[in-house]
């Protein structure tokens, strides 16, 4: 690195001489600039491109353990194995379930930020408070909510007067998934509140004044002015939220820790797609099957991403 | 005449009343939401200070313990496996590891991304628009789904398993979102200052170091916070790559592991969660604006 730097410092004299030719001259400066912009691209190719390419190759291969020299072509056997696996479909179902509750997160963020935009006293305090969960780690959040949902000492049982082991509920295993969702909904709105605040602050106040003169009530104002103005933010938050929902992993492994039978919590109710990929890949050492699950998930998230890009391009056209 | 006045006064009264009701509704909602956010914190904090015997024999949640105890916190040191083996509790080892494993890629990544952003914003380079388009296109590919299967690449091709390298090296190459954000910031910097520095004979690197970075400190700080919080709280990365290397545990990994070793001591688990959150919460109390801006800005790739 230091050699490269020295050479560019020497190269300064050349680059500052006026350049009358139309054709670009490759000075040391431009070479340096080129290297500098290539570094991140090279990093991306090596550390994202190669792993993705490798896992793509695995889709159609057999591999023993983690030894890539044993990779052999096996047609589409991995797909048949995964698609006929009940746990795979279960993981899709649970992932969709968790991703869909991102709407709740979005709704909470919207309601809270609209209320904060009415400038109640203590607004600054509330804003600071509402962001606190967002800076907590998944590990701490999981410990917190496991404790609230605990069968013996949990707060929830104390409030409801029940004695239910929510995380290992033999009567209704779904409470485990709900517990994971609760911990996500507890943590996630902080980001949306901040983003909505910026969007709401950017709405032109003249619009509200004009509509007030026209006699619009506050609901009409909200519906006709606020909602359209913050639509791009809402759309962006929905996209990032659903994307995060689809790739839920750390909360699931923490709240539904892998059991000795390699299930994701009681009755596999914490089995998100990424979690299943993890179990298949690192616990069962069947990376080829893990790749199929991960690629399936990737196609879903990529489709979402393409839809968002298309929509943005359309917006730019207008 | 009298009629008119009363007719006028009535709606106004009503309106005032409805405004007041509206205010009450707003505060009620905000306070209920605050409680929803804060009560889980309360449960782990109060349980962390509860005496083990009392907690163990209790059949339900203890709102306020009869005997307060610091044993939960002491256990984190005294009964920690690593404290026995090497004399340092695992949470302390984790904290130190987290600091350097997080700061190194964040700082270097910022520096590298900033340099690229500077070129994109201010330096003439043939084909840079194409390169920038490529760089931005990478941002559109959601690779969250690939974090598990990437393990094979780092483990078998690079042989970086059980080392923190997979968490450090990739970040050092910068990222598209950082470049995008810093480029926007750099574009706002006056060209005349840069021209003057050029005439003084400063190199691209020299200008970046002595002019661009100092002028863009707020942008760098915001992005550093975003990167630091992300790294500090990261669990999946360390879990994938560092579980086999005891001395390389990060804070989150250490806390997660304590859940197994202290499974019969909930007050200790609660204490570990509280302790792990304290550093960020303290910094947050002193620099809320920086935090909120940093994370809003860092997350907002739009």
Provide the pLDDT confidence category of residue B69 given band limits of 50, 70 and 90: very high
Distances (CA, A) of A234 to A142, B175, B256: 27, 25, 34
Arithmetic mean of pLDDT, B103-125:
95
CB contact under 8 Å between B33 and A130, yes or no, is: yes
Q: Quick check: A39 and B112 CB within 8 A?
A: yes
Q: Which of B98, B149, B227, B235 to mutate to test the interface with A (most CBs of A within 10 A)?
A: B149
A115 and A10 in a single domain? The answer is no
Going by pLDDT thresholds of 50, 70 and 90, the confidence category of residue B234 is: very high
pLDDT tens profile A241-257: 999 999 999 999 999 99
- Rounded mean pLDDT of B16-36? 89
Flag whether residue A165 sits within 8 Å of chain B, measured between CB atoms: no
- A257: domain CATH number? 1.10.3720.10
Query: Helical H runs in B49-89?
Result: 52-57, 71-78, 81-86
pLDDT at B198: 87
Distance from CA of A30 to the nearest CA of B (A): 6
Let me know if residue A134 belongs to a domain: yes
Instruction: Express each pLDDT in A265-317 by its tens digit.
Output: 999 999 999 999 999 999 999 999 999 999 999 999 999 999 988 887 777 66
Same domain for A95 and A230, yes or no, is yes
Interface check A139 vs B, CB under 8 A: yes
Q: Which of A5, A44, A45, A163 is the best mutation test for B, with the most CBs of B within 10 A?
A: A44
Burial of A228-259, coded b for 16+ CB within 10 Å and e otherwise, reads ebbeebbebbbbbbbbbbbbbbbbbbbbbbbe
Our count of domains for chain A comes to: 2
pLDDT at A297 (0 to 100): 97
What percent of chain A has pLDDT above 70? 92
Average pLDDT of span B149-178: 94
Is the domain of A286 the same as that of A224?
A: yes
Using alpha carbons only, give the angle B70, B36, A174 rounded to the nearest 5 degrees. 95
Specify the pLDDT at position A9.
42
Q: What is the pLDDT of residue A12?
A: 43
Distance from CA of B244 to the nearest CA of A (A): 12
Q: Is A88 on the interface with B (CB under 8 A)?
A: no
Instruction: Confirm whether A102 is domain-assigned.
Output: yes
Query: Is residue A97 domain-shared with residue A218, that is, in the same domain?
Result: yes
pLDDT at A158 over 90: yes
What integer pLDDT is reported at residue A318 of this predicted model? 58
Nearest chain B residue to A22, by CA = B126
Cα distance between residue A137 and residue A307, in whole Å? 31
Rounded to an integer, the average pLDDT of A109-128 is 92
Q: A235 to chain B: nearest residue by CA?
A: B302
Residue A30 and residue B292: Cβ atoms within 8 Å? no
Smallest Cβ distance to A50: which of B153, B202, B229?
Answer: B153
Q: Do B144 and A247 touch (CB under 8 A)?
A: yes
Q: How far is A173 from chain B (nearest CA, A)?
A: 21
Q: Residues with Cβ < 8 Å from B254, sequence gap 6 or more?
A: B90, B91, B93, B94, B272
What is the model's pLDDT at position A213? 86
pLDDT band at A144 (very low <50, low <70, confident <90, very high): very high
Q: Are A63 and A288 in contact (CB under 8 A)?
A: yes
| Digit-coded pLDDT (tens) for B242-289 | 999 999 999 999 999 999 999 999 999 999 999 999 999 999 998 888
Instruction: Round the average pLDDT of chain A to a whole number and report it.
Output: 89
Q: Is A20's pLDDT higher than 60?
A: no
**Is residue A15 pLDDT above 60, yes or no?**
no
Residues A164 and A281 in one domain: yes
A49 touches chain B (CB under 8 A): no
Question: Looking at residue A24, what is its pLDDT?
Answer: 65
How confident is residue B15, by pLDDT bands cut at 50, 70 and 90? low
| Predicted complex ipTM | 0.90
A150 shares its domain with A13: no
- A310, part of any domain: yes
Name the residue among B20, B160, B205 with its Cα closest to residue A1.
Answer: B205
Both A163 and A247 in one domain: the answer is yes
Cross-chain Cβ contact B266/A33 below 8 Å: no
- Within-domain flag for A118: yes
In a domain, A70, yes or no: no
CB contact under 8 A, B142 and A129: no
Indicate whether A109 belongs to any domain: yes
Q: In chain B, which residues have their Cβ closer than 8 Å to the Cβ of A309?
A: 140
Query: pLDDT tier at B11 (50, 70, 90 boundaries)?
Result: low
Looking at residue B239, its pLDDT comes to 95
Residue at token pair 């059949």: B59
Whether A22 maps to a domain, the answer reads yes
Residue A34 shares a structural domain with residue A99: no
A123 & A51 share domain: no
The verdict on A115 and A233 lying in the same domain is yes
Taking an 8 Å cut-off on Cβ atoms, the answer to whether B148 and A294 are in contact is: yes
Contact assignment for B30 to A120 by CB distance below 8 Å = yes
Please tell me which residue of chain B has the smallest CA distance to A32.
B204
Could you tell me which of A84, A62, A33, A284 has the C-alpha nearest to residue B132? A33
| Tokens matching residue A112 | 């809270």
Task: Tell me A25's DSSP state.
Answer: P
Task: Give φ, ψ of B202 to 5 degrees.
Answer: -80, 145
Give A154 to chain B, closest Cα distance, Å: 5
Model confidence at A77: pLDDT above 90: yes
Q: Which domain holds residue A269?
A: 84-317
C-alpha distances (whole Å) from A109 to each of A13, A18, A222 are: 56, 56, 15
The SS3 assignment for B126 reads coil
- Would you call A143 and B255 a contact, using CB atoms and an 8 Å cutoff? yes
Query: Is the pLDDT score of B46 beyond 90?
Result: yes
Sort out which chain B residues have CB atoms less than 8 A from A236's CB and list them.
300, 302
* Per-residue model confidence (pLDDT) at position B152: 94
Compute the nearest-CA separation of B119 from chain A (Å): 6
Q: How confident is the model at residue B33 (pLDDT cuts 50, 70, 90)?
A: very high
Probe site for chain B from A14, A33, A82, A110 (most B CB atoms < 10 A): A33
Helix axes B90-122, B165-172, angle to 10 degrees: 20
In this structure, the answer to whether residues A172 and A32 fall within a common structural domain is: no
Does A154 lie in the same domain as A32?
A: no
């Amino acid at each position: 690195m230091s050699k490269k730097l020295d050479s560019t410092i020497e190269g300064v004299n050349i680059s500052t001489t006026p350049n009358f030719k139309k054709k670009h001259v490759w000075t040391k400066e431009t070479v340096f600039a080129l290297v500098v912009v290539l570094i991140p691209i090279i990093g991306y190719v090596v550390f994202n491109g190669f792993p993705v390419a490798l896992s793509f190759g695995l889709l159609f291969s057999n591999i023993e353990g983690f030894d890539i020299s044993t990779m052999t072509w096996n047609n589409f056997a991995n797909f048949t194995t995964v698609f006929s696996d009940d746990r795979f479909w279960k993981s899709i179902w649970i992932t969709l379930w968790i991703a869909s509750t991102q709407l709740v997160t979005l709704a909470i963020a919207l309601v809270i930020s609209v209320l904060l935009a009415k400038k109640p006293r203590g607004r600054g305090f509330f804003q600071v408070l509402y962001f606190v969960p967002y800076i907590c780690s998944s590990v701490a959040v999981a410990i917190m909510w496991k404790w609230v949902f605990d069968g013996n000492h949990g707060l929830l049982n104390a409030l409801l007067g029940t004695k239910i082991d929510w995380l290992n509920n033999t009567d209704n295993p779904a409470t485990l998934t709900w517990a994971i969702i609760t911990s996500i909904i507890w943590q996630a709105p902080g980001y949306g509140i901040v983003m909505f605040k910026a969007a709401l602050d950017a709405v032109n106040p003249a619009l509200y004044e004009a509509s007030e003169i026209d006699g619009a009530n506050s609901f009409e104002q909200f519906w006709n002015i606020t909602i359209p103005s913050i639509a791009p933010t809402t759309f962006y938050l929905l996209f990032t939220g659903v994307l995060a929902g689809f790739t839920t992993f750390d909360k699931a492994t923490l709240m539904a820790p892998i059991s000795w039978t390699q299930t994701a919590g009681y009755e596999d109710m914490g089995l998100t797609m990424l979690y299943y990929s993890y179990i298949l890949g690192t616990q069962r050492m069947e990376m080829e099957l893990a790749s199929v699950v991960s690629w399936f998930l990737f196609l879903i998230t990529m489709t979402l991403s393409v839809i968002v890009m298309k929509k943005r391009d359309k917006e730019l056209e207008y | 005449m009298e009629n008119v006045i009363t007719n006028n006064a009535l709606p106004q009264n009503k309106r005032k009343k409805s405004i007041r009701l509206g205010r009450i509704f707003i505060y009620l909602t905000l306070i209920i939401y605050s409680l929803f956010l804060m009560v889980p914190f309360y449960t782990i904090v109060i349980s962390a200070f509860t005496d083990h015997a009392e907690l163990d024999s209790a059949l339900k949640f203890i709102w306020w313990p009869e005997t307060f105890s610091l044993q939960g916190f002491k256990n984190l040191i005294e009964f920690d496996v690593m404290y026995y083996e090497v004399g340092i509790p695992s949470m302390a080892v984790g904290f130190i590891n987290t600091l350097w494993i997080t700061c190194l890629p964040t700082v270097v990544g910022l520096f590298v991304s900033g340099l690229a952003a500077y070129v994109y914003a201010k330096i003439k380079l043939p084909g840079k628009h194409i390169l920038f388009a490529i760089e931005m296109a990478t941002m559109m590919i959601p690779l969250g789904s690939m974090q598990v299967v990437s393990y094979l690449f780092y483990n078998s091709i690079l042989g970086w398993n059980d080392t923190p390298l997979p968490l450090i090296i990739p970040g050092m190459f910068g990222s598209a979102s950082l470049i995008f954000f810093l480029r926007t910031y750099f574009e706002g910097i006056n060209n005349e200052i840069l021209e003057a520095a050029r005439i003084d004979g400063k190199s691209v690197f020299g200008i970046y170091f002595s002019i661009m970075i100092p002028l863009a400190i707020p942008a760098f700080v915001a992005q550093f916070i975003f990167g630091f919080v992300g790294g500090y709280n990261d669990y999946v990365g360390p879990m994938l790559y560092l579980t086999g290397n005891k001395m390389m545990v990060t804070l989150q990994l250490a806390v997660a592991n304590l859940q197994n070793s202290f499974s019969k001591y909930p007050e200790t688990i609660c204490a570990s969660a509280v302790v792990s959150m304290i550093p960020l919460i303290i910094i947050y109390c002193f620099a809320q604006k920086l935090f909120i801006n940093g994370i809003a800005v860092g997350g907002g790739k739009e």
